[in-house]
Structure 1
Amino acid sequence: MGRSADYTIQGFLYQFNLTLSELLKASDDSVITIEGIVEDIEVASFAGTKAIQCKYHETQDNYTPSIIYDPLLQMMKHFKSNPGAKIKYHLFAHFPNSPSVVVSDVEIKAALITKNKDLKKLAAEAAGVDIDGFLKVFTFSIKPKYDTLMEENTKELEAAGFNKEEVETLFYPNAIQIIADLSIKHDANLRKISKKDFLEELRRIRSTAVSQWTLALKTRKKILETRHKQLKASLGVNARLRHLIIFPKFLKDFDNQIVLFIKSFIDKYHFKVAHIQTPLFALDVPQDFFDQIAERLIGKDVIPNHGRLVRTFTEAHFFREPLVQKDKKEFVLRLIRWDDYKNLQTKVKADDVFVIGDGDITNLDVKDVNLEILATENFDEIKYMIGISNVY
């Protein structure tokens, strides 16, 4: 797993990989619901509904039935509440030292009388379930470890017609990202996708997703290198209007790095006379912190236009062109708070919008804009991807 993946992320990535496996093995008309209300994955087809849960325990030395009581009870409760429904329940799990596990009425009855206080309510709701009937529609499978599952999915993507040379750094990470994006939608209907639509969406994508999920994959280094190459062409163009939206929440050492980062960007991409488009930086920070950053930039001789003559922001002042005396510009960047930026009614859209860090841009108008999302937590990786430095 990637260096930033903790056990929670590891479990989710295993689940996303199981979902990807189900998608790639499904028929084209099968509809998959990711992160179902009761089950982790639901696959609906004309034959009925397959309800799936998965539990990944790579660090669990030995299997004990109590580990699976929670998903068992959830499924039994659902089965009891939906009599007559054409639903088959599948529990997928991985335990490193347990190549095979049998779940019988013994384990079912033990789960129903569990002493675990966190499961008492769930056990009470599942009480009285038809155990024999449930077992007829329930199967339990031990799944391969994460690395093996990832390799299998890579081969399935190649078999589906994706370029072998690009699967590892483009299609596989983007497949995981599509599933991750769907998994967080609150409405279950918005978490549905067919294999056909999934593959079509995947084929349309030509840039590698950079997020906490894709950077937690074993291919982190290759993903960063690929993203660096993908961004190089557009960043090499002099006359492009670039907006950088920066969310500091998960960015490491933001206070110490932000001024250095902005200066490095200006030194790289806005120092020539031919650099006629003034870059804009939108920071998701409180006003007092924003003012401190502006003052620190001035202290580095990186003069920002923050749209205020004194205290009140004016859009006209913010979007005026800088005065140029010989080779010296009045200001070299526009600096604005994210809360103000998202309410701007700009006449000219950016050519490129870079979203750095993890933030909600759902309502941002990015039509006819080249949107680049770089959701890493490391400034060195950001500098590398956008060509400010050659190392990370």
Structure 2
Amino acid sequence: MPRTADYTIQGFLYQFNKTALEILGAQDNDKITVEGIIEDIEVATPTTLTAIQCKYHEASTSFTASAVYKPLLQMLKHFSENQPTSIRYILFVHFSVVVTPAPIIDKAVLKAALTSKDKSIEKHVKAVPPGVDLDSFLDQFTMEFGPCYDEIVKHVGRELEACGMPSGEIEILAYPNAIHKIATLSVKHNAVERQITKKEFLSELIAIRKTAISRWTLALKTREKLLEARRKQLKIHLDKNSRLRYFVIDPSSIEDYDSEIVLFISDYLDKYHFKPAHISTPILCLHANRSEVQKIQHRLYLKGIVANDGYMGAQFEESFFFREPLASKSVGGKVKREFNVRILSCDDHGIVLNDQKCDDLFIIGDPDCDALDTVDVNIEHLAGATMKEVKYVMGVSNVYE
């Protein structure tokens, strides 16, 4: 991955870590808004509102005022529109090198931002009305310099422990789930849905006993440990013979889907659906059109795997799809079945999964599963992982690279 991409992802993770610190440092019922209306993080107490914008400049070798012109202009615009409301504005920034004493933002810097000819911030300059009271803004403004990425991660870990999280569970359970929770909140459309209190946050973290696997947790430096932890957690149910399992997969969000999907199904069947005791035929539900599903169906056939798609001629028949395969025992104790797996397009017939509930629902990638009835179903969400990593955490492979 290019270093610029690394810095972009770390920038988001840095903000999520700062958000975690604000939540953990708040009073139990203070409302923290992730990606607030004003800034990246908003902390509302009964008497004050603090708006925090977080900027990560690891690639910058030193601080330059022009690097923070845009957030300053955005804050000035909001300040000008919300007088005489007293809002505390904080610009939380990280540069790889900052001289001592730390630079400050004064009227000269604000005036330079307001008169900047930089085309990239032209619209932000124009958005600030003339005559804005710079002195009053500075009375409500603070710039803070944050630690390096590794240090802020350690700080969050210490705060989680101080809030009662078992120290042995922080690295592979509490911390990644905290980052995952904040990332999940950040993408919700309604600002109210992006709000959380410290009490709610800690309560959810304590209740979660699965390590979140997502694009954000897998971007953490503990990726290998997280995959190993998830593998151990999944083993509990995967070792049970008679579980009915559905796999809902979004090909567009998995980088090695095309090269690995058939191998994944083949390896899964070889490990978890070959004995007489394996009585529940798994279902593969792909977020793809019928033509794409049929291509996978044919590739499976070439490997000796028959997939029932429920079609009789040109019509999909639900009863034909859910029928039990004829089976007979073959040499070596393996069972020879009429078909080995059921396959269908989520877009065309995914709703039929609600008519026969599974025991385990594996959501792989980022498919839309809102239409599925998941009450009383064990859900295992593996997002951000490659198919090789999915094979590893599900125990069908001992390597993930």
TM-score for both structures, normalised by structure 2: 0.94
Question: Structure 1 residue 345: deviation in Å?
Answer: 5.8
Alignment check: 8 A CA contact 1:263 1:302 kept: yes
Is the contact made by 1:376 and 1:382 (CA closer than 8 Å) also made in structure 2? no
Does the CA-based 8 Å contact 1:2-1:215 persist in structure 2? no
1:1-392 aligned within 5 A: 6-99=6-99, 100-127=102-129, 128-326=131-329, 327-344=335-352, 346-392=354-400
Q: Is the 8 A contact 1:2 1:220 kept in 2?
A: no
Cα drift, residue 245 of structure 1: 0.9
Measure the CA separation in 2 of the matches of 1:93 and 1:35: 16
**Are the counterparts in 2 of residues 72 and 108 from structure 1 also a CA contact under 8 Å?**
yes
Q: Confirm or deny: 8 A CA contact 2:344 2:350 kept in the other structure.
A: no
The 4+ residue runs of structure 1 with deviation greater than 4 A are 1-5
Change (3 A) 1:85 1:363: farther
Contact 1:2/1:217 (8 A) holds in 2: no
Q: How many residue pairs align between the two structures?
A: 392
Instruction: Could you tell me which runs of 5 or more consecutive residues in structure 1 were left unpaired when the two chains were aligned.
Output: none
1:328 alignment partner, SS class: strand
- For the residue of structure 2 that corresponds to 1:346, the secondary structure is helix
Percent identical among aligned pairs is 50
Measure the CA separation in 2 of the matches of 1:163 and 1:114: 50
State how far apart, in whole Å, the 1-side matches of 2:255 and 2:96 are: 34
Distance in 2 (alpha carbons) for counterparts of 1:4 and 1:117: 22
Could you tell me which amino acid in structure 2 is paired with residue 181 of structure 1?
T
Structure 2: gaps (5+ residues): 330-334
Whether the aligned pair in 1 keeps the contact of 2:52 and 2:92 (CA below 8 Å) is: yes
> How far has the Cα of 1:307 moved from its partner?
0.4
Closer/same/farther in 2, CA of residues 154 and 3 from structure 1, 3 Å limit: farther
* Distance (whole Å) between structure 2 residues aligned to residue 4 and residue 140 of structure 1: 25
Pair 1:345–1:300, CA change in 2 (3 A): closer
Distance (whole Å) between structure 2 residues aligned to residue 362 and residue 144 of structure 1: 40
Q: 2:289–2:348: 8 Å Cα contact kept in structure 1? A: no
d(CA) in 2 for partners of 1:232, 1:342: 27
CA positional deviation for 1:116? 1.5
Q: Any idea what SS the aligned residue of 2:242 has?
A: coil
CA contact (8 A) 2:248 2:367 kept: no
Cα distance in 2 for residues equivalent to 1:346 and 1:359 = 16
Task: Give a deviation string over 1:4-26, Cα, whole Å, max 9, x none.
Answer: 96222111100000000111111
Q: Secondary structure at the match of 1:26?
A: coil
Alpha-carbon distance in 1 for matches of 2:279, 2:269? 12
TM-score w.r.t. the length of structure 1 is 0.97
